[in-house]
Amino acid sequence: MADETLAQYKARYTEIDGRLDAAAGSGADDASRAAIKAEIIGLFKSVEQQVNELTALKDQIKALVDKWKTLQGAAAPSLAPQFTAEKPVVVADHIGASTFIEKGWSRLSLGDYEGAETALLKAIELAPGDPQSVALLGWAQMLNEKYDDALLNFQQVLARQPSNALARINVGYICLKKGVFGEAIEHLSKAIRLDNDKKATLYAHFYLGLVYLEREMFEDAQVFFQKTLTLGPNLIEAYYELGRAYWFNEQEAEARDAWKQGHAANKFNPWGKRCAEMLATVDGGGQPLK
């Protein structure tokens, strides 16, 4: 809605409100009351139509965001967990924290991590220690690569909810990124033992594969990447990393086969494209980067 349109609606509201006050003081006749009623109904319907049109446009803008994410992923695919959390269930509150929780979730879903962090910090300011806000804040900071801040927030979540497997694999991922492999293994292994969230179990196996790949324990890495693909064949990055684990273990034929499978599984996926690029690299005499 353009600013001038909003101003026009507000002006119409103020004008009708003034006429209502005047009518209440002077005792308007039936025709005047009927005319005011018709104008109120007309204003309501007009605003409602605008809201519906804007809601439809909002959904179309979300589609643009998805296209941008695909473009961004193709340019620089990330190994971070995908944020797919359902919309938070919040109840109305007198301090307004729920409004900022929903806003933070919406910003996270759109990939606006700075905006999400701002909204969620406000939610926590209004309702200190709210676990839902703290968890979402951790997601925003982790996806924005603010790993130290995110780690503190996820640790708060785990202190209150030790069986929160998603928070635990996020801690494992952050430890992996920081090179703290012992703690990464501890958290990721516990998420697998909990086995109470399919996404967490899937990513726990994948990240353990990455940990062992970093530590050059290539056969162990292969086991976890293979298990990852059993649990989630659509996690194409596991094919890419499995190929690297084979290659560095001097199993070049198996590496090529893994990359071929990854590209065949989804040639439009950024990681499927990376598999094809890696095949072209090694076929041309190049080497994967460690």
Predicted pLDDT of residue 24? 73
- Supply the pTM of this predicted model: 0.73
Query: Please, is 262 exposed, middle or buried when counting C-beta atoms within 10 Å of its C-beta (0-12, 13-18, 19+)?
Result: buried
Q: Look at 76 and 20; give whichever has higher pLDDT.
A: 20
CA atoms within 13 A on the CB side of 195: 2
pLDDT at 134 over 80: yes
Predicted pLDDT of residue 171? 97
Predicted pLDDT of residue 142? 96
Contact 246, 255 (CB under 8 A): yes
Predicted pLDDT of residue 63? 67
Contact 184, 212 (CB under 8 A): no
Predicted pLDDT of residue 81? 81
pLDDT at 240 over 80: yes
Predicted pLDDT of residue 2? 54
Predicted pLDDT of residue 68? 55
pLDDT at 179 over 70: yes
Predicted pLDDT of residue 207? 97
